[in-house]
Structures are given as C-alpha cells and as structure tokens.
Amino acid sequence: MRSRVAGNLLWMLADRGLQVAVGIVVVGMLARALGAEGFGHFQYAQSLVFIAASIPLICSAEVVVPRLVTLPTPVTRHVLVAHAFAIRLTAGIAGYVLMCLWLAITLQPADTWIPAAILGTAVMMREPFGVVIAWMQARTHNRPNVVFNLIALAAKASLIATLFFAGIELVPAYATAFAIEPLIAAVLLTWYYLARAPKAIPTYNSALTRDLVRDGSLFWISFMLMVAARRADQLILKPAVPLAELGTYAATMQVLDNFTTIATILAAGVAPLYVFAQQSVLAARRNVLRVAAGMTLIGLTGAIVLALCAEPVVRLLYGTAFGETVTLLRLAALASTLVFADVGLSLLPIYLRKPRWVAFKWALVLATTVIVDIVAVPRLGTRGAILGYAVGNTVAVIFGLVLVLRTRRATATAAVSA
C-alpha cells in the first residue's frame, strides 16, 4: 500500500512541481508584458473568475472520492461519475452566467470584463470535467492526469511565450492563452474516461442527485466561503491602494498560491488510503494528525526557502517594477505554513462527513480576514492584507485542532460506554 501511495504521490508532486516551475515563468512574462497596472487588472479579473469557479464545487471531490472508494463495481462508479458531472456542469454554466451578470450590473471597465469573460470559460470546464480526476484519485492512479496537465500546460506556456516575444501587451490576448489550458485538459480527460468507462449511458437517478447535492451543499458553501476569504483581500485593496500596489500584492499571492497548492496535492495523494479507507475513527484521527504534522513540516521548510530566496525570485520573475513584492512575499511565505497544517487537519471533517464543520470554519476565517483587512489595510496598505491572511490562517488551524480534540473526547466517551 505504501509503495502505491508513494508512487501516486510522486506523480502528483511531479505534476505540481512542473506546473509551479512553468507557472512562475508564465507569470513573469505576463507581469513584464503588462506592467504593474496591467497585471493588477489581469489578477483582479482572475479573482472574479476564482469566485465564480466556486459555484460548480457543489459536488466536490470531498463528496465524490470517499463514495467512489467504497463502491464495489465499475458500473456503480460510472453512475456516480455521470451524475456528479451533470451537477457540476449545470452549476458551472450558472456560475459563468452569474459572473457575466455581475460584470454587466457593476459596469466594470473593459480592462476587467473582457479578460474576465474569457478566463471565465474555465468555470464550465475545470470542475465539471475534473470529476474524472476524482475518479483517478479514488483509484490512486493520477499519472494520466499528470500527463494531460503537462500537455495543456505546454500549450498555454507556448502561446504566452509567443505573445511575449512578439511584444503583445493586450490583456485579452493573454487571457485567451490561459483559457486554452482547461479546454485541452477537458478534452483529454473526457477521452481517457470514456475509453475505460462502461459503455451504457446511466439512467437518471433523482434520488442520487438529491443525495449528492445535499451532501455536497455544505462543502459547497464552505468552498465559497473559502474562496471569498482568499480573495476578499484584493477586493478590499483595490479601492484603498493605487493599482500598481495592488499589482505587487497580486504578484505576491500568485507565487504563494502556486506554493500552497502543494498542500492540496499532498493531502489528495495520501487521503484515500490513509484516511478515507480507515474503518475506525480512532485510526483515521491518528493518521490525520500524522499527515498534518508532516505537511506542516514540509510547508515550513518550503516557506523558509521561499522567504530566503524572495529577492532573487522577484527580481527574476517580475523585474524592478515589483520591488515591494520582496517584503510582502517574505511575510506571506512564513504565514503560508499555516495553510499546510490546515489542509491536513481538514481531512478529519471530510472523513467524518461533517461539512457543516468545514463551512463554519471558513465562515470564521472569512469574518476574521475581512475585519482585520478593514482595520489594517487603511493603515498598513498591502501589509495589512498580509496580516489579515496570517490571522485568518491561524483561526483555521486553531479550529482544526479543536475538532481533533473534540473527536478524541467523543471517541473516548463512546469506548467507555461500550
């Protein structure tokens, strides 16, 4: 089992490592081509898309993967995958329409709504077709997805490099290059799954649909709260600081997002066998603590390296126009260690199928982040947003530890009663 998990995890980490490496180069070209203000527009558009992308998460991997692990036959798994896809696709279309309505109602400038409309097509592709990735995770076989990601990533990087060296400075052109990536990935995932899935078209099961939506609704709410917590800083910053400062902050968070995604990859790689497959709550809780401790150590090591290398990284990626990003990146990198701990601890409520705990946690994080940002940003600017990021992550970790202790007491009480 360990060799299987390790092999799958290495493929996932290799995928993410290459994505981070290429992503760093891509972001560097983007920032240099568009400048601080243009980069600020692009990142603000991405923030709007990121919020819209939380809508198709109504039937997330946290709901699908544990179910797929326990289903006995390919046919029953195919039925589940088909229903999850239909739910996600419907929600993705709704998310894109709502985003476009928001852009129209708020009369966003063309520099915002044009790239947002182009980038937003990913809302209808990433999560709906990403149900195949959940199917792969349940089988502990993510290698095909790694290959597909690399193909899509290579296409995006090639297009962006072509635009950069051609001297193109149009934000919509780069947005189109970004939109190519999820389209290619969706096509490849569809081809791979249909070649291996049962050929019969599943009959629509309204009870299964209601069950998936009901079980996924609280996770969905928690994801939207999480997205809001992660992007509230930029929404609060935009009217409070010059657009160039927003660009330097967005550059910081762009690097940090690539780094902290490693935590999600680590958790997705070990959770199916080490946590979700456990029959005992005690064993699952013990493994969650081990996973969280290991992830925290990895996060701290990476954060220290990133903080020490912040100056050459920023100079190499963004150039002299993003000098303030160095200090911001050092501060935010150290705070990001908490993200690794939180992702590990979050496996426990997922295992126990307690989405309300996750939703309540992100509601606390969102409220904390907004309060700290509203107080600190007018006084400290972008550093105030970093403070809100750190305090919000601290609240998330404390909440996770409280849940672990609460589960321990409940398990002990049940054992004594028995």
Structural domain harbouring 104: 2-417
Query: Computed from CA positions of residues 124, 265, 382, 391, in that sequence, does the dihedral angle turn out positive or negative?
Result: positive
pLDDT number for residue 97: 93
Instruction: Round to whole Å and give the CA distance between 407 and 308.
Output: 38
pLDDT number for residue 371: 94
pLDDT number for residue 417: 42
Instruction: Round to whole Å and give the CA distance between 348 and 353.
Output: 8
pLDDT number for residue 414: 42
Give the chain's residues under pLDDT 70: 1-17, 140-141, 272-273, 277, 320-321, 408-418
Identify the residue whose tokens are 């180069």. Answer: 25
Give the number of domains in the chain.
Answer: 1
Instruction: Round to whole Å and give the CA distance between 37 and 214.
Output: 43
pLDDT number for residue 411: 53
pLDDT number for residue 226: 81
pTM exceeds cut of 0.75: no
pLDDT number for residue 89: 92
DSSP H helical ranges for 106-142:
110-119, 126-129, 131-138
pLDDT number for residue 65: 81
